[in-house]
A and B are shown apart, each in its own frame.
Chain A
Amino acid sequence: MNAEAAVLALAQVVAMVALSPLLVGMMRQVRARLEGRAGAGALQPWRDLRKLLAKETLQAAGTSWVSVAGPTVLIVSSLLVCAMTPLLGTVTFTSVPDDLFVVVSVLLIGTVAVALVGLDAGTAFGGMGSSRHMTIAALVEPTVLVSVYALSIPVGSSVLSQIVEARLDDPASVASPVSLLALLALAVAVVAETGRLPVDNPSTHLELTMVHEAMVLESSGRDLAWLELGSWLRLGALLGLLSTLLMPWGIATELSAGGLLLASGALVAKIAITGALLAGVEVFLAKLRLFRIPELLAGSFVLAFLAVTASYLVVQA
């Protein structure tokens, strides 16, 4: 059981490391085409990454080990999330279940690492990005936990693999109001957590509008490479989780070569569709003012809470 889980985790990590830059490239390409441009191609993030690893890494006086270790912590936490969430299969380790709180806490380690890197830079922008980033992270957490809680009530467990397996067994539950409300709330939370429009514009150059970018302004070379890849992995893993919860078909419940192949193809399709949808919707959105974001997150929390109450009504009925 544990050996199978290890193989699956490794496969998931390798798959996500390969796919996440392609996902980001594809999203940029979709956006470019909708804007009438030709775009750089889906492989551009891989080229950027390769170039960053070959660049010099600078460290300013006054920064500490946090600027060196932070990017590594971020990418390790992102890899751990990829290993734990049910993306290709639902086989888990017995003593490290992909329980909701554990996955969220590992994500938060990455969040904290980037926030500390921003503060360590010792610049006004770093502190500003760090402050905004942590405020949004604090306000997103209730939505994330309550929406997965809503999904866990019909199943009786908050282990993500078991939730996905239960949805595989009962396709009707995927289209139930509980599920749709919870997934909508979770989608807003994922957008906020990964720093996409309308919460944050990932391609902005105006420092005063930055949330995530501002924290990495001081990083260069391989620090920047790990920070970029780490955030792409988070985006890929969270979109993968969201799409797996929405469309669980194709995921492998037990380990086999054919099952893994099918699951990989399904995963590629799922995150491609979700990513393209997200990129398409982003074209129509403008970034929200920072102080309108709590309203958005409060709205998503209300949706999640409604999902919980709906699950009680469903059970009673």
Chain B
Amino acid sequence: MSAVGLGLEAQLVLAVVAAIVATWAPPRLRSTLAGVVSAAVGLTGAVTGVLVLAGSRGRIEVPTSLPLGDVGLDPSPLGGFFMVVAGAVGAVAAVYAIGYAEGPAASRAAWASLPVFLAAMQLVPAAADAVSFLLLWELMALASTSLVLTDHRDRAEVRQAALWYAALTQLSFVLLLLGFAVLVVDAGGVGFDLIGSLDPGSTSASVAFVLLVAGFATKAGIVPVHVWLPRAHPAAPSHVSAVMSAAMVKMGVYGALLVCLRLLPTGPAWWGLLLLAFGAVSAVYGILQASVTSDLKRLLAYSTTENVGLMFLALGTALLLRSVGVGGPADSAVAACLLLVASHAAFKCTLFLAAGSVLHGSGERDLDRMGGLGARMPVTALAFGVGALGAAALPVTAGFMAEWALLQSLIHGARPEDRLVAVAMPVAVAVVALTAGLALLTFVKAYGIAFLARPRSEGAAAAHEDGAWTMRPAMLVSAAAVLALGLVPGLAAEAVTRAGGVAGVGRVGGAGLELSGVGAQLDPIALSVMAALLAVPVLFVSRAAARRRPRRQVELAWGCGGVRVSPRMQYTATSYAEPLARVFDDALRPERDIEVTHTSESRYLVERVAFRQRLDDVVEERSYRPVVRLADRVGLAARRLQNGSIHRYLGYSFVALVAVLVLVAL
């Protein structure tokens, strides 16, 4: 039994143990015990992934009583990479949940579902054949649905959210089932190695590709099948949102990478174009919606759509460039996709955990009611700030390195000879640039409105750092990962090379990243050293000036000398994004309503003005609601078949029997 096999078995065993502990432990100890074992599940997954990346392989077969055979687990390096990501996020979130979970989130069902969810999610990348993959996929979906439903008694939106989530995750399962079915029929067996020998140029391969990518895109949160994300993530408890956003949607990206790199490699150019197009649309739409919303968790959920869009864009670029024979930039694009995966996992985990801490500390989820939290919750502010820097792709964070790699591969992939590539690359560069700019605005808004200036509500004014002792270390570890991946990305270069099966990604300098395929290199530590050296004279002059005239604290900020100054005069998140909402109002279609109440004495004097703005998801409004309404109508019409009369039902069975007999006879 190799180390990897041991690790896989350990994950299964620990998950079962954690579920048992969650069911049988007394309520006082339940969170701590179940949390510790769940964290162990995550850690084991991460360690197993590291072992796989280091080169060792192992296979285990888990016997099931299903007629489809045993569950075979044999992680490839790509799978190992995703196991590391999922395991690390799971471990951090479980530790956080020990302190965070209370009320319904600390119930037996919630604590039993979490380790099952973590184990299933970590083992999906380890699956070695289509059946195991689908079984683990469905287990992951069921466990996560149960977790999303945690607060269903307290909030009505949770039930709606779980319904949408369940519907779309089952849609993804059905699409994957159909796609894998096509491939299995062609290959004559369910093993991934067998499927990998198929010809990607055939029609059935293309059909399978579209089905599989559609299924994975649904799980990943690509437009137009992203509508579950902005509902499910705010509905779930914060640690569950963190795992779902930072790790579970990555399984969709893993699936896409699996299909493109292992199952059906060297496909035609239109495959890459399809991925690129949907990725680009998701990236822009996601960040646009994130920039105009004032609900913090909804903002983070839409930001996930944006980042997954960028990952699909990177993958699509890689496929496109490979199909025209440009190997170097294609390899860099795959590396960029993997770096985006790792960096997004790190900063999204940090952001969601910090958002949970804000929710616990202040009771607020709406940015318009926050403010001044930086002074009241310094650790949370630090973690959120680092996460926001990473999400905005600013130096020196993980997000910056990942976007740098993506832009390098796009810029060096320019091929004037090939018309398709010649149009796609500049459009992709423009999309990445627009996304980066809007992400800047979004996260300046999120950090600035929530943590700076003065509180806009009593909840924010009374905010305090949560006393639970596991929340702070978990957030800080996550934030440290964001900075670590940004400062020493070269250490991850080896992992990325093995995982993506690409060449040309290496270390340079101290721990800088080198993309020799495109001839680009960057050492973030050197950049930071330069900045530090340039800061020395500035600080010197500042210190000298401060000695002559020290900084003086004053009571009031300059607000034109007005005598009635209140924190409500500050900008809110809604007003911050208003110019952007106006510029993009065709894409966002905000509903604005202004109600003016005049005084009773005269129509020329105004007593009250009420402003209301609704920003619904456009895709949901235009595409899903008509379908849902149609389904409603069909259902209502079908009700007429069910009128309760036993005679009618007997008649149905009789007609059905006669029809079957006739058909069999024919």
**A138 near B: Cβ within 8 Å?**
yes
Asked if B549 contacts A221 (CB within 8 A), the reply is: yes
Chain A residues, CB < 8 A from B1: none
Asked if A120 contacts B400 (CB within 8 A), the reply is: no
Chain A minimum-CB-distance residue to B291: A138
Contact with B along A264-307 (1 / 0, CB 8 A): 00000000000000000000000000110010000001000100
* Of A97, A126, A128, A294, most B-chain CB atoms within 10 Å: A126
**B448 near A: Cβ within 8 Å?**
yes
Complex CA–CA separation, A242 to B571 (angstroms) = 35
Asked if A121 contacts B557 (CB within 8 A), the reply is: yes
Contact with A along B381-415 (1 / 0, CB 8 A): 00000000000111100001001100110011010
Chain B residues, CB < 8 A from A124: 559, 569-571
**B154 near A: Cβ within 8 Å?**
no
Contact with A along B525-546 (1 / 0, CB 8 A): 0110011001100110110011
- Looking at chain A's contact residues, is the secondary structure mostly helix, strand, loop, or mixed? helix
If A76-B535, A124-B569 touch, does A95 touch B434 (CB 8 Å cutoff)? no
Chain B residues, CB < 8 A from A116: 444, 447-448, 452
Chain A residues, CB < 8 A from B580: 135, 138
Identify which of residues 6-24 in chain B touch chain A, using a CB-to-CB cut-off of 8 Å. Answer: none
- Chain B's nearest CB lies how many Å from the CB of A193? 11
How many residues of chain A have a CB within 8 Å of chain B?
87
**A176 near B: Cβ within 8 Å?**
no
- Chain A's nearest CB lies how many Å from the CB of B175? 33
Chain B residues, CB < 8 A from A146: 426, 429-430, 433
Asked if A135 contacts B519 (CB within 8 A), the reply is: no
Chain B residues, CB < 8 A from A209: none
Q: Among A18-26, A36-44, A103-111, A195-203, which stretch is in contact with chain B?
A: A103-111
Identify which of residues 35-90 in chain A touch chain B, using a CB-to-CB cut-off of 8 Å. Answer: 53-64, 66, 68, 72, 75-77, 79-80, 83
Chain B residues, CB < 8 A from A100: 407, 411
Chain A minimum-CB-distance residue to B569: A124
Chain B residues, CB < 8 A from A102: 395, 404, 522, 527
* Of A77, A111, A145, A305, most B-chain CB atoms within 10 Å: A145
If A75-B538, A157-B519 touch, does A53 touch B545 (CB 8 Å cutoff)? yes
Q: Among A166-174, A244-252, A254-262, A308-316, which stretch is in contact with chain B?
A: A308-316
If A53-B545, A128-B571, A290-B579 touch, does A83 touch B453 (CB 8 Å cutoff)? no
Q: Among B127-135, B186-194, B435-443, B624-632, which stretch is in contact with chain A?
A: B435-443
Asked if B448 contacts A130 (CB within 8 A), the reply is: yes
**A15 near B: Cβ within 8 Å?**
no
Chain A residues, CB < 8 A from B539: 72
If A101-B403, A109-B395, A120-B448 touch, does A142 touch B535 (CB 8 Å cutoff)? no
Chain A residues, CB < 8 A from B538: 72, 75-76, 79, 226
Asked if B526 contacts A93 (CB within 8 A), the reply is: yes
Contact of A308 among B426, B433, B453, B508 (CB under 8 A): B426
**B555 near A: Cβ within 8 Å?**
yes
**B648 near A: Cβ within 8 Å?**
no
Asked if A134 contacts B557 (CB within 8 A), the reply is: no
- Chain A's nearest CB lies how many Å from the CB of B268? 23
Contact with A along B372-387 (1 / 0, CB 8 A): 1011000000000000
Asked if A316 contacts B416 (CB within 8 A), the reply is: yes
Asked if A115 contacts B448 (CB within 8 A), the reply is: yes
Contact of B553 among A59, A130, A222 (CB under 8 A): A59
- Chain B's nearest CB lies how many Å from the CB of A190? 16
Chain B residues, CB < 8 A from A126: 453, 571
**B278 near A: Cβ within 8 Å?**
no
Asked if B416 contacts A119 (CB within 8 A), the reply is: no
**B558 near A: Cβ within 8 Å?**
yes
| Top 3 closest pairs, chain A to chain B, by CB | A127-B571, A138-B437, A122-B453
A-B contact pairs, 6 of them (CB 8 A): A124-B571, A127-B570, A149-B426, A222-B542, A294-B583, A308-B426
> B residues touching A (Cβ–Cβ < 8 Å)?
372, 374-375, 392-395, 400, 403-404, 407-408, 411-412, 414, 416-417, 422, 426, 429-430, 432-434, 436-438, 440-441, 444-445, 447-449, 451-454, 508-509, 512, 519-523, 526-527, 530-531, 534-535, 538-539, 541-542, 545-546, 548-549, 551-559, 567, 569-571, 575-580, 582-583
> A residues touching B (Cβ–Cβ < 8 Å)?
9, 13, 53-64, 66, 68, 72, 75-77, 79-80, 83, 93-97, 99-102, 105-106, 108-109, 111-112, 115-116, 119-128, 130-132, 134-135, 137-142, 144-146, 149-150, 152-153, 156-158, 217-218, 221-222, 226, 290-291, 294, 301, 305, 308-309, 311-312, 315-316
